[in-house]
Amino acid sequence: MTTRSPAGHNASVSDVRHVLVLPDRDAAEEVAELLTARFPLPEDPHLVRDALAGEDDAEDAQWLVVVEDPGTVLDPSALEAMAAEHDGWLER
C-alpha cells in the first residue's frame, strides 16, 4: 500500500521521518554529521530552525535534524541516544 506525500510522489507506508530536537545550531550540525558518518542514509539530514512559540528572540530557537528513513532501518533508540548526548531528544 502506498500513500501520497505532500511533494506528490508515492511513499511507502513503512517510510519514516525521524525528528531529533537539539538546543542550538552547532549541536544540530554535529548530530547531522554523525548521522551521515554512522548510518547509510539515502540523503543528508535536513536542518530546520524551530522558533519557540511566542518567542521573538533568535536565541530562543531549537534546531531540528530531520532524517528520512525509507524502509524503517534506523534504530530509534540509537537516534535518541545520539540526540541525548547533545542535550536533545528524539521527537515521538
Q: Does the residue 73 lie in any domain?
A: yes
Mean pLDDT, range 44-67, rounded to an integer: 82
**Which DSSP symbol is given to 6?**
T
Say what the pLDDT of residue 5 is. 41
* Gap between the Cα atoms of 11 and 4, Å rounded: 6
Q: Does the residue 1 lie in any domain?
A: no
Reply yes or no on whether the pLDDT at 4 is more than 50. Answer: no
Give 56 or 5, the one with higher predicted confidence.
56
Residue 23: CB partners within 8 Å, gap ≥ 6?
A: 62, 63, 86, 87, 88
Q: What is the mean pLDDT of the chain?
A: 84
Q: Does the residue 8 lie in any domain?
A: no
User: Into how many domains does the chain fold?
Assistant: 1
Full domain range(s) for residue 50: 14-91
Q: Does the residue 80 lie in any domain?
A: yes
Q: What is the pLDDT of residues 23-35, one digit of tens each?
A: 999 999 999 999 9
CA distances from 13 to 18, 28, 69, 74, 91 (A): 14, 27, 11, 15, 19
Say what the pLDDT of residue 71 is. 87
**pTM of the predicted structure, to 2 decimals:** 0.78
Q: What is the pLDDT of residues 57-72, one digit of tens each?
A: 556 689 999 999 998 9
Three-state secondary-structure class, residue 65 = strand
CATH number for the domain spanning 39: value is 3.30.70.3450
